[in-house]
Amino acid sequence: MAREYLKKATLTAKSDASEVHETVKTILADIETGGDAKAMEYAARYDRYEGNVLMTAEEIEAACALVPEKLKADIRFAHDNVKRFAEKQKSTVSDMEIEIVPGLMAGQKAIPVDTAGCYVPGGRYSHIASAIMTVTTARVAGCRHITACSPPRPGVGVAPAIVYAARISGADRILAMGGVQGVAAMTFGLFGLPRANILVGPGNQFVAEAKRILYGRVGIDMIAGPTDSLILADAQADPMVVATDLVSQAEHGHNSPVWLVTDDRALAEKVIDLVPGLIDNLPDVNRENAFAAWRDYAEVILCADRAEMAACSDDYAPEHLTVQAGDLDWWLDRLTCYGSLFLGEETTVSYGDKATGTNHVLPTSGAASYTGGLSVHKYMKIVTWQRATREGSRPVAIATARISRMEGMEGHARAADVRLAKYFPAETFDLAADG
């Protein structure tokens, strides 16, 4: 049967891109020209903060002292999990070499970028976990310098728990500056910071657009839109658990899509019935976000069977993908497009967002069809090298000369010719492309 939409989205998760682009472009240009002073002007306007922007060791210690011990223990637990996972990821990429032909050696090296700029959202919600996810992976990768940047609150500064998480995760400096101005400060090397080679971390539409504009001058983890989540559930799933998980992700923002894909009509109808009550029971700001996201962006899709459910999921390529259905190994083997996969009721996106160890900086808006999320590998350059003996270069030079001439690139061909003439003066080679 064709997919049946029991609930259809009325909006798509896209902002007014042209207006945002022009605003961000102007701010970046102003700050690049005006330097520290101009960045401070924007901080005063948008962060409403005029305190010290580059936190001192004393300020960091004072902020950390405000964090309750239980929360510190939770942050350390999450950090340890992320660190262990990142270390295992790093072990999957190693330096190597191979003898391509006798006398010709080629290889690869994994080299960390020098400086990472990690953006940690701190506006509506204090994203403690984002500090852990971004800074820890950069430290494990081997980046020489890591700046953590987070929006300060008026009269307060960066949230103490974010400061603590950034410090124990390995940040070298903590920048109390948000939005485009914070991204610009890390990119342009303001306030005495080294220029970032890569910018990572989630942020609002202005932060995302700043990263988009700056990409090429610096590396970025990805261009991210609003967070999105999809649940695959069959008749075995618990409707209350499914509904709760959908609401938990809808609270991210008013334009955060959540989708349920199922082959069981009764489950779908029960979840649709449960969600409004669960949203009503949230605190005010969370309720407003979840209500708008569910009303305008959520979808509930009924499919014929699990094969059609899997195909539907791959078409959506969600950032977060949860399976609450039987035969989890089948789903793990079949599904191909997602940022992070959560198999079974015993795990949930919230776990991955905070503490399991896998990274929560993930591709959104269908980007999971071609890329994965933030990992230790994003901070590393996989570069190649080669060396050869004179005899080993002989067949390569001959092939290079002929291919180059067929392409019309005579200069390339002559770089091979000169070596053959020098290394094998007694030999004659047929180097014509049509020889």
Whether residue 340 contacts residue 293, with contact meaning beta carbons closer than 8 Å, is answered with: no
Q: Which of 319, 346, 377, 407 is catalytic?
A: 319
21 is catalytic: no
Listed residue (51, 64, 93, 32) closest to 171, CA to CA: 64
Alpha carbon distance 263, 150 (integer Å): 43
For residues 124-151, one letter each, b for 16 or more C-beta atoms within 10 angstroms of the residue's C-beta and e for the rest, the string is eebbbbbbbbbbbbbbbbebebbbbbbb
Q: Retrieve residue 430's tokens.
A: 């047929």
User: Where are the extended beta strands (E) located within 59-120?
Assistant: 96-101, 104-112, 115-119
Kindly state the tokens that stand for 290. 């979840």
SS3 percent helix, strand, coil of the chain, rounded to 5, is: 50, 15, 35
User: Which of 204, 159, 154, 144 shows the shortest CA–CA distance to 179?
Assistant: 204
Alpha carbons 277 and 257: distance in angstroms, whole number: 18
Instruction: Compute the distance between CA of residue 335 and CA of residue 341 in angstroms, rounded to an integer.
Output: 9
Query: In a 3-state reduction of DSSP, which class is residue 324?
Result: strand
Q: List the one residue out of 226, 287, 301, 326 whose CA is nearest residue 11.
A: 226
Of the candidates 4, 320, 360, 407, the residue annotated as catalytic is 320
Nearest to 181 by CA among 307, 23, 317, 329: 23
Interatomic CA distance for residues 306 and 303, integer angstroms = 8
Q: How far is residue 338's CA from residue 358's CA, in Å, rounded to a whole number? A: 13
- Among this protein's residues, is 319 annotated catalytic? yes
- Write the CB contacts of 158 (distance below 8 Å, at least 6 apart in sequence): 55, 63, 122, 150, 151, 152, 174, 176
Residue with token string 């449960």: 274
Q: Which residues contact 14 (CB under 8 A, 6 or more apart)?
A: 225
Residues involved in catalysis:
319-320
